[in-house]
A and B are shown apart, each in its own frame.
Chain A
Amino acid sequence: MPQHTFTVNGERVTVDVADDVRLLWVLRDVLKITGPKYGCGINVCKACTSHVNGKAFNPCSVPVSDLGPDDEVTTIEGLPDTVDAELHPMQEAWLERDVAQCGYCQPGQIMAAVALVKKVRAEGRSITDADLDGIRNICRCGTYTRIREAIREGASRM
Chain B
Amino acid sequence: MTTAHDARPLPPSDGAPPPDRVGVRRRSLIGWVLAGGTLAVAADLSVGAEPAAAAVPSPPQVPELYDLGDLQTHSALPTSQLIRIDLDEDGVAHFAIPRMEVGQGITTAAAMLIAEELDLPLDKVRVTLAKARPELVFNQLTGGSNTMQSMFTPIRVAAATAKGALLRAAATELGAQVSALVAKAGVVTGPTGTSLTYGQLATLAASAEDVAVEVSLTPRSEFSVIGTSRNREDALAAVTGRKQFTMDLEVEGALPTMVCRPPTLNGSPRSVRNEAAVRGMPGVTDVALVGTGVAVRAATFGQCIDAVRALDVDWKGGSVEGESDESVLAELKRAELPMVVPKVPILASTLDLRVEFMFRSSAALEPNCAIADVRSDRATVWAGLKAPIVAQRDIAKAVGLPVGKVEVNVVTGGGSFGHKLFGDAATEAAVISKAMGKPVKLMWHRADEPRQGRVHPMATSRVRATMLAGQVLTFEQRHTSVVTDFGHGLGERLTALVAELPANLGGLGLSQSIFTLTQELPYNFGVVTQLLNEVDTRFNTGSMRNIYSPDVACANELAVDQIAKRLGKDPYAFRMSFLKSAKAKRCLEAVAKAGGWGRSLPQGVTQGIAVHTEYKGATAVLVELDTRPETVNRKIRDAVTGPRVTKAVIAVDAGLVVNPRGLEAQMMGGVADGIALALTSSNHLEDGHFLEASWDNYFYTRQWNVPPEFRCIVMPSDEELPGGAGEAGVAASVAAVACAYARATGKVPTRFPVNHGTVSFTPKSFVPPVPESPVDGLSYVS
Please give the distance in Å from A116's CB to the nearest CB on chain B.
Answer: 8
Contacts of B300 in A (CB 8 A): 17, 21, 25-26, 29-30
Point out the residues of chain B lying under 8 angstroms from A47, CB to CB.
Answer: 365
* Residue from the list B242, B694, B708 in contact with A44, Cβ < 8 A: B694
Whether the pair B240, A61 counts as a contact (CB closer than 8 A) is no
A55 to B363 alpha-carbon distance, docked (Å): 30
Taking a contact as CB atoms under 8 Å apart, the answer to whether B673 and A142 are in contact is yes
Is A141 at the interface (CB under 8 A from chain B)? yes
Q: Are B240 and A55 in contact (CB under 8 A)?
A: no
Within 8 A of B (CB), among A117-158: 119, 129, 132-148
The minimal Cβ–Cβ distance linking B554 to chain A, given in whole angstroms, is 18
> How many Å from the CB of B418 to the closest CB on chain A?
12
A8 interface residue, CB < 8 Å from B?
Answer: no
Report if A55-B232 is in contact (Cβ < 8 Å); known contacts: A24-B302, A101-B104, A106-B239.
Answer: no
CB distance from A69 to the nearest CB of B (A): 16
Complex Cα gap A18–B773 (Å): 15
Q: A17 to B303, alpha carbons, bound, how many Å?
A: 11
**B20 part of interface (Cβ distance < 8 Å):** no
Q: Does any Cβ of A come within 8 Å of B9's Cβ?
A: no
A83 to chain B, nearest CB (A): 14
* Extra 13 A-B pairs, beta carbons < 8 Å, given A39-B365, A57-B780, A144-B668: A29-B256, A44-B638, A44-B696, A52-B778, A60-B774, A62-B777, A77-B242, A80-B240, A87-B239, A94-B239, A140-B364, A142-B668, A147-B703
Chain B interface residue bracket vs A: 35 or more
Sample 27 A-B pairs with CB under 8 A, ordered by A number: A20-B775, A23-B777, A26-B300, A28-B247, A37-B247, A39-B446, A40-B694, A42-B774, A61-B780, A62-B777, A75-B241, A77-B242, A98-B665, A100-B232, A100-B239, A102-B102, A102-B365, A102-B415, A107-B239, A107-B241, A139-B365, A140-B363, A141-B103, A141-B415, A144-B702, A144-B706, A145-B668
A101/B366 in contact, CB under 8 A? no
Chain A positions within 8 Å of B777 at CB level: 22-23, 43, 57-62, 66
Q: How far is the CB of B280 from chain A (nearest CB, A)?
A: 13
Interface residue A103 (Cβ < 8 Å from any Cβ of B) = yes
Check B708 against A129 for contact (C-beta < 8 Å): yes
**A6 surroundings in chain B (CB, below 8 A):** none
- Measured between beta carbons, the chain A residues less than 8 angstroms from B443 are 38
Q: Is the CB–CB distance between B702 and A138 below 8 Å?
A: yes
Residues of A within 8 A of B770 (CB): 41
Q: Check A104/B704 contact, CB under 8 A, given A29-B256, A62-B777.
A: no
CB nearest neighbor in A for B634: A133
Q: Is the CB of A140 within 8 A of B240?
A: no
A51-99 interface (Cβ within 8 A of B):
52, 55-63, 66, 75-77, 80, 87, 91, 94-95, 98-99
A80 contacts across to B, CB distance below 8 A: 240
> Which residues of B sit under 8 angstroms from A18, Cβ to Cβ?
282-283, 303
Beta-carbon nearest neighbor of B777 in chain A: A61
Evaluate contact between A106 and B238: CB separation under 8 angstroms: yes
Question: Given contacts A39-B446, A133-B704, is CB(A34)–CB(B241) below 8 Å?
Answer: yes
Of all chain A residues, which has the CB nearest B697? A44
Contact A144–B703 (Cβ < 8 Å): yes
CA distance A106 to B103 in the complex (A): 12
Bound Cα distance from A138 to B300, whole angstroms: 24
Q: Is the CB of B364 within 8 A of A102?
A: yes
In B492-540, which residues have CB < 8 Å from any A CB?
none
Q: Say yes or no: A61 contacts B773, CB within 8 Å.
A: yes
Q: How far is the CB of B674 from chain A (nearest CB, A)?
A: 9
- A60-B777, A103-B103, A142-B701 known; A37+B302 contact, CB < 8 A: no
Is B572 in contact with chain A by the CB < 8 A criterion? no
Minimum Cβ distance to chain B for residue A62 (Å) = 4
B700 CB–A CB distance under 8 Å? yes
Q: Which residues on A sit within 8 Å (CB–CB) of B238?
A: 100, 103, 106-107
Distance (whole angstroms) from the CB of B583 to the closest CB of chain A: 24
Interface code B592-608, partner A: CB below 8 Å = 1, 0 otherwise? 00000000000000000
Which B residues have a C-beta under 8 Å from some C-beta of A? 102-105, 231-232, 234-245, 247-248, 250, 256, 282-283, 299-303, 305-306, 363-367, 412-417, 443, 445-446, 636, 638, 661, 665, 668-673, 694-696, 700-704, 706-708, 710, 770-771, 773-778, 780-782
A47 to B234, CA, bound (A): 18
The 9 A-B pairs of least Cβ separation, nearest first, read: A35-B241, A142-B672, A102-B103, A104-B414, A61-B777, A103-B238, A76-B241, A101-B103, A62-B777
Cα(A40)–Cα(B103), bound, Å: 20
Contact status B417-A140, CB under 8 Å: yes
Distance in angstroms between the alpha carbons of A58 and B774 in the assembled complex: 10
Contact residue among B661, B665, B703 (Cβ-Cβ distance under 8 Å from A135): B703
Which of B235, B303, B364, B661 meets A104, CB within 8 Å?
B364
Is B302 in contact with A95, judged by CB distance below 8 angstroms? Answer: no
Using A37-B366, A42-B773, A102-B102 as known contacts, say yes or no to A77 and B240 having CB atoms under 8 A apart. yes
A22 neighbours in B (Cβ, 8 Å) = 302, 773, 777
Other-chain contact of B706, A21, A100, A148 (Cβ < 8 Å): A148
Question: Is the pair B414, A61 in contact by a Cβ cutoff of 8 Å?
Answer: no
Complex: chain A residue closest to B648, CB-CB: A145
B782 (CB) vs chain A CBs: closest residue: A56
Chain A residues, Cβ within 8 Å of B299: 29-30
- In the bound complex, how far is the Cα of B247 from the Cα of A35, in angstroms? 11
- Roughly how many angstroms separate A98 CA and B233 CA in the complex, as a whole number? 10
Chain A residue with Cβ nearest B708: A129
**CB closest chain-A residue, reference B674:** A142
B781 with A57: CB separation less than 8 A: yes
Query: Which residues of B sit under 8 angstroms from A141, Cβ to Cβ?
Result: 103, 415, 665, 669, 672
Residue of B with least CB distance to A75: B241
Assess whether A104 is in contact with B415, with CB atoms less than 8 Å apart: yes
- Cα–Cα distance between A47 and B365 once the two chains are bound (Å): 8
CA distance A41 to B413 in the complex (A): 19
Closest to B449 in A: A40
Give the chain B neighbours of A139 by CB distance below 8 A: 365, 672
Is there contact, CB below 8 Å, between A140 and B245? no
CB pair B301 A40 closer than 8 Å = no
Residue of B nearest to A116 (CB): B782
A38 to B777, CA, bound (A): 15
Q: Is the Cβ of A104 less than 8 Å from the Cβ of B366?
A: yes
In the assembled complex, the Cα of A105 lies from the Cα of B414 at a distance in Å of 8
Q: Are B669 and A101 in contact (CB under 8 A)?
A: yes
Find chain A residues with CB under 8 A from B283 CB. Answer: 18, 21
Q: A95 to chain B: closest CB distance in Å? A: 5
A102 touching B366, Cβ below 8 Å: yes
